[in-house]
């Protein structure tokens, strides 16, 4: 029997671990398992491996080594940045600015703080998903302590004008956090040049392991701890370090930032082949997100008259792994908050598909999707009362 084909196009949800990354991690599960906090010689290897990974993360961001703190992933880094800054700067003010299209790790953290006396402004975005810098400037008050705006959106791929936002924040004396979980490894980041004060990243979005990430905290930023306990991470983040995970993060960020342009050139070629094919073959389709300022591997399209959930199930039958809305909201029937924020009506937002490409995808994968997807969309449209009404209206 022929093995069922798998075409994985959900790299924005997570990636596989690169063999070189796994290889770097393996000794830290087995022979080099020492607790980095222990003082005997045997544990020094562990300590050194963590500091080596910290150097690699710092280098990738143009940060200083002592500005990098390891966490249990992207969500923890976001929670720490926002809650930590909010609590440590409470006397200065209680106002936070973010956007309507953030990841839930940011949005739900802000909502949590709203219930505890903080005020949050959720900035609009335009039809391409870009924040309005004038609206941002006007939202800043003398109570504003933090601006948290994501680097690149996980659903629609839109990249924000981060350097401009950083400049505004610095000029107004407000701290600037960016959730760069989708950006690291795909966009060149320089925290100094971009005036970024805090930055979140997660290894499993750039071919590293899951459950490990980092928060960059610029020297001098006032921030409370999120996880209390032992004195790890220079007393900022308690808990015995995820040693193999941190080693994997270091290796993965080193590989991912080595040749961003070469990696992107390949992804963009594949993405455009797929996108152009979809646009040619499937009528009543709209590209979501910015046409140019978008992540190289991201396609997000809305097909009128159908539901994304049924589309995903049918794609799955053909071995195609993709996503509708964000991975975190799948399972709920609410349309994506991001698609609503860019102004899509509910019924169109419901018919959306995200295909996120990665470094193992090939032209054959793209052509396979293009051979399957148009028929599936047509099958669903043929069953759709909305489509029937539309066809009647055409006559």
Ligand X SMILES: *Cc1c(COP(=O)(O)O)cnc(C)c1O
Which residues belong to the active site? 328
Helix count and strand count (H, E) for the chain: 14, 12
Dist. CA 136–CA 129, nearest whole Å = 14
CA angle 109, 200, 123 (to 5 degrees): 50
Closest CB to ligand X among 75 and 361?
75
Q: Is the CB of residue 359 less than 8 Å from the CB of residue 263?
A: yes
Q: Binding residue for ligand X (CB under 6 A) from 11, 56, 103, 294?
A: 103
Buried b (16+ CB within 10 A) or exposed e, 139-162: ebeeebbbbbbbbbbbbbbbbbbb
Which one of residues 15, 182, 195, 352 is an interface residue with ligand X (CB under 6 A)?
182
Q: Give the chain's length.
A: 395
Residue 298's φ and ψ, nearest 5 degrees, are: -95, 130
Nearest to ligand X of 54, 204 (CB atom)? 204
| Smallest separation (angstroms) from ligand X to the CB of 215 | 12
- Dihedral Cα 175, 178, 179, 183, nearest 10 deg: -160
Closest separation in Å from C-beta 368 to ligand X: 26
Residue nearest to ligand X (CB): 74
Nearer to ligand X, 46 or 154 (CB): 154
Whole-number minimum distance, CB 154 to ligand X, in Å? Answer: 4
Name residue, tokens 């770097």: 24
| Total Cβ atoms within 10 A of residue 201 | 32
Q: Please state, as a whole number, how many other Cβ atoms lie within 10 Å of the Cβ of residue 233.
A: 20
Site for ligand X in 193-232 (CB under 6 A): 202, 204-205, 213
| Residue 151 CB, nearest approach to ligand X (Å) | 8
Q: Identify the residue among 97, 125, 181, 301 touching ligand X (CB under 6 A).
A: 181
Q: What is the pattern of x (binds ligand X, CB under 6 A) and - over residues 104-123?
A: -x------------------
Q: In angstroms, give the least distance from the CB of 168 to ligand X.
A: 21
Q: Which stretch binds ligand X (CB under 6 A): 18-26, 131-139, 169-177, 179-187?
A: 179-187
Beta strands at 119-123 and 285-287: parallel, antiparallel or unpaired: unpaired
Measured from the CB atom, is 106 or 377 closer to ligand X?
A: 106
Nearest to 86 by CA among 125, 115, 123: 115
Is 240 annotated among the ligand-binding residues? yes
182 is in an annotated binding site: yes
CB-CB contact of 213 with 74 (8 Å)? yes
Distance from C-alpha of 97 to C-alpha of 145, rounded to nearest angstrom = 8
- Residue 154 labeled ligand binder: yes
Q: If DSSP codes are grouped into helix, strand and coil, which group holds residue 202?
A: strand
> How far is C-alpha 97 from the chain's CA centre?
19
Q: Which of 150, 168, 198, 214 is close enough to bind ligand X by CB under 6 A?
A: 150
Q: Which helix (H) or strand (E) holds 95?
A: strand 95-99
Whether residue 352 is annotated as binding a ligand: the answer is no
Residues in region 36-95 near ligand X by CB under 6 A:
73-75, 78
3-state secondary structure of 120: strand
Closer to ligand X at the Cβ: 80 or 305? 80
Q: Say if residue 74 carries a ligand binding annotation.
A: yes
Binding region for ligand X (CB under 6 A) out of 112-120, 157-165, 178-186, 226-234: 178-186
Nearer to ligand X, 199 or 247 (CB): 199
154 binds ligand X (CB under 6 A): yes
Q: Which of 179, 254, 307, 365 binds ligand X (CB under 6 A)?
A: 179
Q: Which region, judged by CB under 6 A, interacts with ligand X, from 174-182, 189-197, 233-241, 256-264?
A: 174-182
User: Which of 384, 342, 285 lies closest to 123, judged by CA?
Assistant: 342
Question: At which residue do the structure tokens 């963590």 appear?
Answer: 50
Q: Is 242 in the site for ligand X (CB under 6 A)?
A: no
Pick from 81, 312, 279, 247: nearest CA to 180: 81
CB of 43 to ligand X, least distance (A): 27
Residue numbering of the annotated binding site: 74-75, 154, 182, 240, 328
Residues at the contact surface with ligand X, assessed by CB under 6 A:
73-75, 78, 103, 105, 150, 154, 179, 181-182, 202, 204-205, 213
Residue numbering of the annotated binding site for pyridoxal 5'-phosphate: 74-75, 154, 182, 240
Residue numbering of the annotated binding site for [2Fe-2S] cluster: 328
């Amino acid at each position: 029997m022929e093995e069922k084909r798998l075409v994985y196009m959900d790299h924005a949800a997570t990636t596989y671990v690169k063999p070189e990354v796994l290889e770097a991690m393996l000794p830290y599960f087995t022979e080099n398992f020492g607790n980095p906090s222990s003082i005997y010689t045997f544990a020094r290897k562990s300590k050194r491996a963590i500091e080596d990974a910290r150097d690699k993360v710092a280098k990738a961001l143009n940060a200083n080594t002592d500005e990098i703190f390891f966490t249990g992933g992207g969500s923890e880094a976001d929670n720490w940045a926002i809650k930590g800054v909010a609590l440590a700067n409470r006397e200065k003010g209680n106002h936070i600015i973010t956007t309507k299209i953030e990841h839930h790790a940011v949005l739900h953290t802000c909502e949590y703080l709203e219930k505890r006396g903080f005020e949050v402004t959720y900035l609009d975005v335009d039809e391409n998903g870009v924040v309005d810098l004038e609206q941002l400037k006007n939202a800043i008050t003398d109570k504003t302590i933090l601006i948290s705006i994501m680097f690149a959106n996980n659903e629609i791929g839109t990249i924000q004008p981060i350097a401009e936002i950083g400049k505004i924040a610095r000029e107004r004396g407000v701290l600037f956090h960016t959730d760069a979980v989708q950006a690291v490894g795909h966009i060149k980041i320089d925290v100094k040049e971009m005036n970024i004060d805090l930055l979140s990243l997660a290894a499993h979005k750039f071919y590293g392991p899951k459950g490990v990430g980092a928060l960059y905290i610029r020297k001098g930023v006032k921030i409370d701890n999120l996880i209390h306990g032992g004195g790890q991470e220079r007393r900022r983040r308690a808990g015995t370090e995820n040693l193999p995970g941190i080693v994997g993060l270091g290796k993965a960020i080193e590989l991912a930032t080595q040749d961003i342009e070469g990696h992107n050139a390949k992804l963009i070629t594949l993405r455009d082949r797929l996108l152009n094919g979809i646009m040619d073959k499937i009528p009543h389709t709209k590209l979501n997100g910015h046409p140019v300022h978008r992540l190289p591997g991201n396609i997000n399209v809305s097909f009128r008259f159908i539901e994304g959930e049924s589309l995903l199930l049918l794609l799955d039958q053909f071995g195609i792994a993709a996503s509708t809305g964000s991975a975190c909201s799948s399972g709920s029937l609410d349309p994506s908050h991001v698609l609503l924020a860019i102004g899509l009506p509910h019924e169109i937002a419901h018919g959306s598909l995200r295909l996120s490409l990665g470094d193992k995808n090939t032209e054959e994968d793209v052509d396979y999707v293009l051979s399957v997807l148009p028929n599936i969309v047509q099958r669903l449209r043929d069953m759709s009362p909305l489509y029937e009404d539309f066809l009647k209206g055409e006559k």
